Structure 1
Amino acid sequence: MKKAVGFLAQFGQKTYIDWLDHSMPSRTSSETADKLKNRITKSNKFVLLATPKSLESIWIPWELGIADGVKGLERIAILPLVNNDTNWDEREYYGLYNYIEQVSDGRWGVFKQGESTGVPLESWFEV
């Protein structure tokens, strides 16, 4: 997780990770949902870190749904930390969203599913 936070910081991004937020209630509740919804709504972009743990989370689909409703498809991207495969077994709807990937020259871009031409990651964050 630290590597992902450092990676996004290279592009000037502050990362919010709910389980590191000490203001979150110790037990999951409607207050938890309100706080998450508020954070998602206030953020400019929503990057889903696709880790083995996040893929099992019951909250991630809800969080992604909130982001989708507030931001639309263009301001959401998935950063796959599981593998470079963007075929999401049991999470097929992830295919609706942009994904972040490193291209052959070492730069990072944001791509729509099934397209080989993307937008440089730094440009995507600026829009």
Structure 2
Amino acid sequence: MKGFVEMLHKAGWDAYVDWMDYEMPARPNRRTAENIQKRIRESTFFMFLATQNSMASRCYP
């Protein structure tokens, strides 16, 4: 995943990755979902990479 993000940055793209965001809470909660939704709304493009971890991840309010 980090290699893909580095590739995007080298190509001039700004990539947001939730687990690289130091402002995210340690445990997923409602704020986690709100932060991700805000980032999606602010983005020109949205891409979701479905990894084993991302598919198993859940945000509980």
**TM-score (norm: length of structure 1):** 0.40
Cα 1:54–1:29 shift into 2, 3 Å: closer
Cα deviation for residue 36 of structure 1 reads 0.9
Query: 1:73 — aligned with what?
Result: none
Query: 1:28 — aligned with what?
Result: 28
**Unaligned ranges ≥5, structure 1:** 60-127
Alpha-carbon distance between aligned partners in 2 of 1:53 and 1:27, rounded to the nearest angstrom = 15
Greater strand fraction, Structure 1 or Structure 2:
1
Alpha-carbon distance between aligned partners in 1 of 2:17 and 2:28, rounded to the nearest angstrom = 15
Percent identity over the alignment is: 39
Partner amino acid, structure 2, of 1:57: S
**TM-score (norm: length of structure 2):** 0.74
**Unaligned ranges ≥5, structure 2:** none
Could you report, residue by residue, the CA deviation over 1:43-64 in whole angstroms, capped at 9, with x for unpaired residues? 11011223232233346xxxxx
Cα deviation for residue 10 of structure 1 reads 3.2
Higher RCO (Cα < 8 Å, 6 or more apart):
2
Aligned residues: 59
Cα deviation for residue 35 of structure 1 reads 0.9
Greater helix fraction, Structure 1 or Structure 2:
2
